[in-house]
Homo-oligomer: A and B are copies of this chain.
Amino acid sequence: MTLSKFIKEKRKSTGLTQPELAEKAGVGLRFIRDLEQGKESLRLDKVNQVLKLFGFKVGAIPLIKDENEKS
């Protein structure tokens, strides 16, 4: 499970569109798109700003061990 997929699924299951999520999270629409598109060079605080809506946050350890997880 990637971060992008996680966000996308959460958004869908909440019945939100990208513009709606962007507004609720207080970020730009472009950011949501980049995020769901799997762009890696995103700012951590913005990512957390979005995750917070779903009760999660990156930047809290422990993290997942990196064993070449795919997709």
User: Which residues does A use to contact B, with CB under 8 Å?
Assistant: 1-3, 5-6, 40-48, 51-52, 55-66, 69
Query: Contact: A60 with B56, CB < 8 Å?
Result: no
Interface on chain A toward B: helix, strand, loop, or mixed SS?
mixed
Q: Report which of B1, B52, B61, B65 forms a contact with A66, defined as CB distance below 8 A.
A: B52
**A31 shortest CB reach to chain B, Å:** 12
Q: Report which of B3, B44, B48, B62 forms a contact with A43, defined as CB distance below 8 A.
A: B44
- Nearest to A38 among chain B residues (CB) is B59
* Residue of A41, A56, A58 contacting most chain B CB atoms (<10 Å): A58
Query: Contact: A58 with B58, CB < 8 Å?
Result: yes
Query: Contact: A1 with B51, CB < 8 Å?
Result: no
